[in-house]
Structure 1
Amino acid sequence: MNMIFDQEMCTQCGICTEICPIGIIFQDAQNMPYVPDNMGYACTRCGNCEAFCPEGAISPLFKIEHSVPDDAVLPDITPEQLGLYMRKRRSIRNYKDTIVDRATIENILDIVRFAPSGVNNQPVHWLIVHDPEKVKDLTRLTIDWMREIVASDTPNPIKPVMQGLITAYENGKDPICRGAPHIAIAHAQEDNPMAYTDCIIALSWLELAAPAFGLGACWAGFLKMAATSYKPVIDELGLPEGHVVQYAMMFGYPKYDVCNIPGRLPSRTIWK
């Protein structure tokens, strides 16, 4: 931990001492913030102190690349605008053949890396299957997995629908990746108990950010199931040692525009 408090810029407001989620920032006799030597190890590098310092007097120096907000490019978003944007989010299952360039995907992931994670552990790693032919390979292997399940006595919660998916594939359809040109695989260390939740949060951010770039996405549940149990799919992905697939998402340019917002059940809320 290499946190620096700029004594000339600091106004001794005390916000950093209140905002630190671990409670390791204190104020000395002159109200200057400091971290005791025996507490620095507990810092999670969440950056709260840096983010909420009104004077910009805190420099954690974590050697982690970060962006600096610019008021000129941060217009206010009204609740109505945000609500409309989020309500128009749809699971996209029909895609154009157009390839999404790597720079666009990297820009989305640059946003997604700021998604919250437990104790700021940031366990999420990405595998982007960018080659559409490799996406087709994953579809084929997932269908092979289903064929083996159908032909065996192995129980599986989606076994009743597998034959229909196999038939659709044999008739030229892609019921697994829906013809998407790309797949995003969120993976992490197998022994990290918080990794699954953190990966789901990160993928949710990816799906929500995608329409701002003209893209659409959909959760690839069938592929995820095959990727966690079927060795040919696991081998095809070739994740680092000790890493497992937490979840998968297909994405690309939507073939059709979202024109309307379908209804949903009202919020079911208990107030106490």
Structure 2
Amino acid sequence: MLYAAAFSAYKPYIRQLPSRPLTKADLLHERFLLAESGPVSMYYAPHNEIVNPYAQILIAGLTPGWSQMKLAFETARDCLQQNQGPELRDEDILQQAKEAARFAGPMRNNIIRMLDTLDLPAPLGLSSAQLLFEGSQQLLHTTSVLRYPVFARGHNYTGSRPDLLSSDFLRDFAVNSIQGELGSLDACGGGFRRVLVIPLGKAVEGICRVLVQKGILREEQCLWGFPHPSGANGHRVRQFNEQRGSMREIIRAYFR
């Protein structure tokens, strides 16, 4: 496991956060602001700082939403406030924040349901994709192509307005961020070229296509067609059913 040095700079601010449910006024604050460009703002969160070099599956979302950001901060804050001694390492705190917040809530349930339908767990020796989150976490690495939370006019960024690939700021950050994270997997000795990458939705697929064009990912390494699992995606079920056959073929070929 690796963790980013950025966490050390934000620890004092996280420790001082109020011991109550956090609000946007607490976190969408200049002390956590990383960058701004036009209508979009990017903020720090202790969510995607851990790299699992032994993963066989990499699930990549677009960007942590407000709910994930809030949960990651609350988990890290509680660890810092309740464990004042040296026994809890930064890595432990970041791991707890990641496990608590990654694709939390209905989104995680939708991912699990779809992966089970695609029979992904079988070649991994699992009875259900739920175990990727709750018992066999060593097989899974989760991240976002926009590693830190991005908001457009204060709302969760969805990949449009501005379009991810049309915005130099967002596209370049996404490509460099995920490319660096894949490089970290290699640096750990795991090697990212053996990882099946599952991009969640068309915007993330677009970034993966750029990485394929750059020769960083292989075409057959990506599970193309996986819909964004958010409940707000009203076309999720139709999109999944349309792509189910081709996604099963990708999985079978990959683990052959």
TM-score computed with the length of structure 1 as normaliser? 0.24
TM-score computed with the length of structure 2 as normaliser? 0.25
Larger Rg: 1
Comparing both chains, which one has the higher relative contact order based on Cα–Cα distances under 8 Å and sequence gaps of 6 or more? Answer: 2
